[in-house]
């Protein structure tokens, strides 16, 4: 990478992600002492595995990477179809299992592949200008490609991951210059479809929403995790109870404490200072991602960056929101902090692409 590319690179994005990883490792170290630090040690392995992906995504020109996005999209769709025929884990067919300790979640890697492919498609559809996306047939083509992975993930079912895809797609459409009339039509359709969709949700999903609205409906069942999470965060107060000293964390009341509720672990043992700092770090990560989208040298770079911003924004908002009772519990991990190999590799690829796009930008030029 030349001096000009290094100078343009938005290094703050990498710094923020590294700080989040370190905080996550500290929390995992405390949360996994009862299991001989198994997940903590596995997370370190996944970090080491993620580094080459981060480097490749940073150094290879993203326009070269895009040339392979069509093939990658076909492969990930095949994997998303194949996973539907695997044995369910926790009620969802989302994982390929290889032995006792290795698993792969294609929907995680599918996030960045879908963003890359849709950016490629958007760029091709707008070859004659950004307004081309407002031609109805071109918009339909884009939506077909966008909704295929969304539909397959819905069938798993994995509503949290599906929502992350939808948010990223909406971010990309907004950045593409879509006409306001389509946004208005979409809002009307959502208002019509929402009550219909709610009435056709599976019982467990409806129960989660009801418990979100009133945890006391099922305090020992569906509302149990939310109550324990709020109790843990509240107990931490300003400075926390200290590592290895959190009652809910160490006595096993938080579940799963290394993935969905890692924010609760941090709140209980490190306090408001740590959770507030994490929230600020995520805000910086999302705003810097949007800034990279604004200053990208071309539209396709802008679409990739804004799609990644959508992914980070959703995961931050949903995970933190569900642990404090502001949003329904969906099983969405906290980027860089929660335990998980597939999500960690995907997140580092996202960071690499953001560094890649920012290094090749012209800072004085904003996307129209």
Q: What is the pLDDT of residues 222-280, one digit of tens each?
A: 678 888 999 999 999 999 999 999 889 898 888 889 999 999 999 999 999 999 999 99
Taking residue 285's Cβ as centre, other Cβ atoms within 10 Å add up to 27
Q: Can you list the alpha helix ranges (DSSP code H) found in the chain?
A: 3-8, 11-31, 38-59, 62-66, 69-82, 106-125, 136-155, 159-175, 180-199, 203-213, 224-236, 247-250, 262-295, 299-323, 341-359
Q: Residue 103: its pLDDT value, please?
A: 79
Give pTM, 2 decimals.
Answer: 0.92
pLDDT score of 362: 66
The SS3 of residue 260 is coil
Q: Which of 108, 101, 116 is nearest to 158 (CA)?
A: 108
- Once rounded to an integer, what is the mean pLDDT over residues 293-319? 95
pLDDT at position 2, please? 61
Within 8 A by CB and 6+ apart from 86, the residues are 93, 95, 96, 97
pLDDT of residue 97: 83
Amino acid 24: pLDDT: 95
* Region 180-205 average pLDDT: 79
In the predicted model, what is the mean pLDDT of residues 180-187?
A: 83
| Residues whose CB falls within 8 Å of the CB of residue 180, separated by 6 or more in sequence, listed in order | none
Confidence (pLDDT) at 199: 76
* 165-169, 173-177, 215-219, 334-338: segment of lowest average pLDDT: 215-219
Round to whole Å and give the CA distance between 263 and 253. Answer: 14
Residue 181: closest CA among 139, 218, 153, 216: 139
At 103-157, the pLDDT tens digits run: 789 999 999 999 999 999 999 998 888 788 888 999 999 999 999 999 999 998 8
Q: For position 4, what pLDDT does the model report?
A: 64
Tell me: pLDDT of 305 over 60.
yes
* pLDDT of residue 366 exceeding 60: no
Averaged over 213-228, what is the pLDDT?
Answer: 75
> Alpha-carbon distance 363 to 10, whole Å?
11
- What is the chain's length? 368
Confidence of residue 367 (pLDDT cuts 50, 70, 90): very low
% the chain with pLDDT above 90: 62
| pLDDT(214) > 60 | yes
Instruction: Answer whether the bond into residue 123 is a cis peptide, omega within 30°.
Output: no
The backbone torsions φ and ψ at residue 312, rounded to the nearest 5 degrees and listed phi first, read -65, -40
**pLDDT band with cut points at 50, 70 and 90 for residue 368:** very low
Collapse the DSSP code of 198 into the 3-class scheme (helix H, G, I; strand E, B; otherwise coil) and give the result: helix
Of 45-49, 315-319, 350-354, 362-366, where does mean pLDDT reach its minimum?
Answer: 362-366
DSSP run (H or E) holding 36: none
Model pLDDT, residue 185:
84
How much is the pLDDT for 130? Answer: 79
pLDDT at 192 over 50: yes
Angle at 187 between CA 182 and CA 190, to 5 degrees: 125
Contacts of 281 (CB under 8 A, 6+ apart): 16, 19, 20
């Amino acid at each position: 990478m030349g001096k000009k590319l290094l100078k343009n690179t938005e290094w703050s994005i990498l710094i923020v992600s590294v700080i989040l990883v370190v905080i996550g490792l500290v929390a995992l170290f405390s949360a996994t002492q009862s299991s001989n630090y198994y997940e903590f040690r596995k997370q370190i392995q996944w970090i080491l595995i993620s580094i080459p992906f981060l480097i490749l995504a940073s150094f290879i020109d993203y326009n070269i990477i895009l040339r392979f996005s069509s093939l990658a999209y076909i492969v990930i769709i095949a994997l998303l179809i194949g996973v539907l025929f695997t044995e369910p884990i926790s009620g969802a067919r989302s994982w390929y299992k290889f032995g006792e300790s290795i698993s792969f979640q294609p929907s995680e890697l599918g996030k960045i592949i879908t963003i890359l492919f849709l950016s490629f498609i958007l760029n091709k559809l707008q070859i004659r200008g950004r307004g081309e996306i407002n031609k109805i047939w071109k918009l339909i083509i884009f939506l077909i490609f966008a909704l295929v992975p969304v539909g397959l993930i819905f069938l798993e079912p994995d509503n949290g991951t599906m929502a992350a895809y939808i948010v990223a797609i909406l971010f990309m459409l907004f950045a593409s210059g879509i006409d306001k009339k389509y946004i208005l039509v979409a809002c009307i359709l959502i208002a019509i479809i929402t009550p219909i969709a709610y009435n056709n949700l599976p019982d467990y999903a409806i129960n989660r929403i009801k418990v979100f609205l009133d945890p006391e409906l099922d305090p020992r069942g569906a509302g149990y995790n939310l109550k324990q999470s709020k109790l843990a965060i509240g107990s931490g107060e300003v400075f926390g109870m200290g590592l290895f000293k959190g009652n809910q964390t160490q006595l096993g009341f938080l579940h799963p404490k290394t993935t969905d509720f890692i924010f609760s672990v941090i709140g209980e043992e490190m306090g408001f200072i740590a959770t507030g700092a994490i929230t600020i770090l995520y805000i910086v990560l999302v705003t810097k991602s949007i800034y990279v989208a604004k200053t990208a040298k071309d539209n396709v770079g802008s679409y990739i960056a804004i799609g990644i911003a959508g992914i980070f924004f959703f995961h931050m908002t949903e995970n933190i929101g569900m642990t404090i009772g502001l949003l329904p519990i969906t099983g969405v991990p906290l980027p860089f902090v929660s335990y998980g190999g597939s999500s960690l590799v995907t997140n580092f690829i996202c960071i690499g692409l953001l560094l890649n796009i920012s290094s090749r930008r012209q800072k004085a030029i904003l996307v129209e």
